[in-house]
C-alpha cells in the first residue's frame, strides 16, 4: 500500500511547519503557499487529503475548494479547512462547496491528527468501493461501466487534442462450445487467461482492456491511428494463440482463438473533426463499427481481424455485407 499524500496549503510558513510536524508520520506531507500552487500540485500528483487555509492572498481557500470540486477528478478529494473563523455560517458555506471538515486556529496537533486520520480512512474505503465498482470480478480487468466512462472521456480528449482513437472488439471463438465441452469452471479460467493475455499485449499506459460482456472484450487505444490498431491486433491474435489453451470442440482450431473487430476514428475518417467543430459521429458509433467489424471477422472464418472506419457502417455496400455477416455469426453462435 502506498503512503498517503497530504497537501498543506497555507501562506504562513509557521502554520505549515506546525501542521507538518503533527502529520509527518501519517504519510508524505507536501505543502503549497498559495492557492494557485495548490491547484498545480494537485493536478501533477493527486493528494489523498488537503488541509486548506481559508484566507490567503490571491485565490482564497474557498475559491481553491470550488475549483477542485468543479473537476470530476477531485470531487471525492477530502478538503479540510483550517481557519480562525468560528461562525456557523462560515462552516455552512464551506460544507456547501464540498468541504469535508473544519479545524479551528490555533490548531491542536492531536485534534489535527485525529481529523486527518478519519478523512484518510474514509477516502481509503471510498477508493476501495470505487475500485470494486469498476473492475470485473472474474477477470480483474475493467468492467463495462469503467469502459463506458473511459470511452466518453477519451472521445472528448481526442476531439480536443486532435489525436486519433481506436477500438478493438474481441470475442472468444466458439466459447459456448468450450463451456459445453469443458464445463463452466474451465470456462471461467479460460476467460481469466485470455483477459490477462490481452493486458500483457496492451503495453501502453493509456490502453484500457475491459470485459465488455460474456466472452467479449474491448481494448481502447487512445492516440492510436489505424496502423497502430492493426499492429496491436496482430499482437493480440498471436498472444491468445500462444496461450495454447486446448479447445477440442472448436471447428476453427484445436486451441482457443479470438476474432477481432477494429474500428478507428482518425484523420482518415469521413467524420473527423477537431473541437470546437462538432463531429458527425459519436462514441457509440466507434463501438458500433467495432461490433460490425467483429461480425465480419467471424463470417470470414474467425481467428482473424477485420477493420472498419467509424463511418464505414453507414455505407450501403458495407451495411449489406455486415448484415450477411451478422446472420452467419448468429447461426454459428
164-181 tens-digit pLDDT: 999 999 999 999 999 999
CA distances from 208 to 71, 148, 154, 234, 240 (A): 22, 11, 10, 17, 17
pLDDT at 259 over 80: yes
Q: What is the pLDDT of residue 293?
A: 94
Domain extents for the chain?
5-134, 144-332
Average pLDDT over residues 239-262: 97
Q: Which of 119-123, 192-196, 201-205, 237-241 has the lowest mean pLDDT?
A: 201-205
Mean pLDDT of the chain: 90
Q: Confidence band (pLDDT; 50, 70, 90) for 305?
A: very high
Q: Which CATH superfamily is domain 5-134 in?
A: Response regulator (3.40.50.2300)
- Give me the catalytic one of 215, 230, 278, 317: 215
Answer with the residue of higher pLDDT: 232 or 87.
232
- From the CB of residue 163, how many other CB atoms can be counted at a distance below 10 Å? 17
Q: What is the pLDDT of residue 88?
A: 86
pLDDT at 111 over 90: yes
User: What does CATH list as the number for 144-332?
Assistant: 3.30.70.270
Distance CA 104, CA 99 (A): 14
Annotation marks residue 215 as catalytic: yes
Answer with the residue of higher pLDDT: 278 or 3.
3
Q: Which of 65-69, 196-200, 271-275 has the lowest mean pLDDT?
A: 271-275
Q: Is this prediction's pTM over 0.85?
A: no
Amino acid at each position: 500500500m502506498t503512503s498517503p499524500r497530504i497537501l498543506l496549503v497555507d501562506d504562513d510558513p509557521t502554520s505549515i511547519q506546525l501542521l507538518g510536524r503533527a502529520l509527518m508520520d501519517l504519510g508524505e506531507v507536501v505543502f503549497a503557499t498559495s492557492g494557485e500552487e495548490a491547484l498545480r500540485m494537485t493536478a501533477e500528483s493527486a493528494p489523498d487529503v488537503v488541509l486548506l487555509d481559508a484566507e490567503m492572498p490571491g485565490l482564497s481557500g474557498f475559491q481553491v475548494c470550488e475549483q477542485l470540486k468543479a473537476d470530476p477528478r477531485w470531487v471525492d478529494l477530502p478538503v479540510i479547512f483550517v481557519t480562525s473563523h468560528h461562525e456557523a455560517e462560515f462552516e455552512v458555506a464551506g460544507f456547501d462547496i464540498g468541504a469535508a471538515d473544519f479545524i479551528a486556529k490555533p490548531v491542536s496537533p492531536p485534534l489535527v491528527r485525529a481529523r486527518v486520520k478519519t478523512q484518510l480512512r474514509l477516502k481509503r474505503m471510498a477508493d476501495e468501493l470505487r475500485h470494486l465498482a469498476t473492475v470485473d470480478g472474474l477477470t480483474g480487468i475493467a468492467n463495462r461501466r469503467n469502459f463506458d466512462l473511459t470511452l466518453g472521456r477519451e472521445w472528448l480528449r481526442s476531439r480536443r487534442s486532435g489525436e486519433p482513437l481506436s477500438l478493438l472488439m474481441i470475442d472468444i471463438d466458439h466459447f459456448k462450445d468450450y463451456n459445453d465441452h469443458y464445463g463452466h469452471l474451465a470456462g471461467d479460467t479460460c476467460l481469466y487467461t485470455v483477459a490477462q493475455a490481452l493486458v500483457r499485449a496492451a503495453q501502453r499506459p493509456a490502453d484500457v482492456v475491459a470485459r465488455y460482456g460474456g466472452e467479449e472484450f474491448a481494448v481502447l487505444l487512445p492516440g492510436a491511428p489505424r496502423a497502430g490498431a492493426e499492429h496491436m491486433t496482430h499482437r493480440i491474435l498471436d498472444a491468445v494463440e500462444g496461450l495454447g489453451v486446448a479447445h477440442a470442440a472448436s471447428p476453427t482450431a484445436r486451441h482457443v482463438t479470438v476474432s477481432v473487430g477494429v474500428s478507428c476514428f482518425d484523420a482518415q475518417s469521413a467524420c473527423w473533426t477537431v473541437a470546437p467543430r462538432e463531429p458527425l459521429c459519436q462514441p457509440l458509433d466507434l463501438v458500433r463499427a467495432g461490433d460490425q467489424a467483429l461480425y465480419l471477422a467471424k463470417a470470414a472464418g474467425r481467428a482473424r481481424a477485420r477493420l472498419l472506419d467509424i463511418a464505414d457502417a453507414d455505407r450501403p455496400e458495407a451495411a449489406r455485407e455486415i448484415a450477411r455477416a451478422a446472420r452467419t455469426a448468429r447461426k454459428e453462435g
